[in-house]
């Protein structure tokens, strides 16, 4: 990468990071290119030259965000964490949804077909194989029963993830969010009756 390409990449990254930071507190519909340009210290023309439109900018920002979240999770998987830690990370989406509300993500995916397609491909081609790897590793170490099929384990994890917004609301209403999620993890692993 030559100096010009490196500078272009740095400017684009700065614009994308600024956009993501602003979307933590701003509704995407109210986000203005002028505000992003001011925060990022670039001209509006620069943003339009790189991204073409506000919608494309938001799309590219979230594509970069989700791609990075997957890369971070792959790194996490290779760091020697326990099966429980790995599954908790999946269920509670500590990387993906911690910065943005589930309702915002749903709205973005509803409004932007290209972003939805990208996330679907990422889920099907990267996330599911990673979850299958975790399940197989857990079965190989005896931490997951060999009687549990990969399909059943995936469905069970998906049930939790589909209710993430509700779990988050309930955790926020509880006295201690960490304790709430800790108890949910206990039930995930051991059910209502506890360990056998």
User: For the chain, which residues make up each domain, given as ranges?
Assistant: 1-52, 54-190
pTM above 0.75, yes or no: yes
Sole residue written with tokens 């993501």 = 20
Let me know if domain 54-190 sits in CATH 1.10.357.10: yes
Which one, of 58, 33, 56, lies nearest residue 46 by Cα? 33
Cα angle 109, 69, 83 (rounded to 5 degrees) comes to: 115
- 64/21 Cα distance (integer angstroms): 13
So what CATH class is 1-52? Answer: mainly alpha
Task: Classify each residue of 22-58 as buried b or exposed e, where b means 16 or more C-beta atoms within 10 Å of its C-beta.
Answer: bbeeeebeebebeebbeebebeeebbeebbeebeebb
- 48/56 Cα distance (integer angstroms): 9
Spell out the per-residue pLDDT of the chain, length 196, in tens: 788 788 989 999 999 999 999 999 888 999 999 999 999 999 999 999 999 999 999 999 999 999 998 898 899 989 988 888 887 777 666 544 467 877 888 889 999 999 999 999 998 999 899 989 998 988 998 888 888 999 998 898 888 877 877 887 888 888 887 788 778 878 888 877 776 6
> 1-52 and 54-190: same fold?
no
């Amino acid at each position: 990468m030559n100096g010009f390409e490196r500078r272009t990449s740095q400017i684009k990254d700065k614009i994308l990071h600024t956009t993501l930071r602003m979307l933590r507190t701003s509704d995407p519909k109210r986000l203005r290119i002028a505000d992003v340009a001011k925060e990022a210290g670039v001209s509006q023309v620069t943003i339009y030259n790189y991204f073409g439109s506000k919608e494309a900018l938001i799309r590219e920002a979230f594509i970069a965000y989700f791609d990075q979240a997957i890369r971070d999770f792959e790194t996490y998987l290779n760091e020697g964490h326990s099966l429980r830690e790995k599954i908790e990370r999946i269920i509670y989406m500590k990387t993906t949804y911690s910065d943005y509300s589930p309702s915002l993500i749903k709205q973005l995916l509803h409004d932007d077909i290209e972003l939805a397609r990208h996330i679907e491909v990422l889920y099907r081609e990267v996330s599911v194989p990673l979850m299958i790897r975790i399940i197989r590793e857990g079965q190989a170490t005896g931490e997951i029963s060999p009687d549990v099929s990969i399909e059943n384990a995936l469905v069970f994890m998906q049930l939790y993830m589909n209710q993430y917004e509700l779990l988050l609301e309930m955790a926020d209403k509880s006295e201690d969010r960490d304790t709430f999620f800790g108890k949910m993890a206990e039930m995930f692993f051991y059910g209502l009756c506890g360990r056998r």
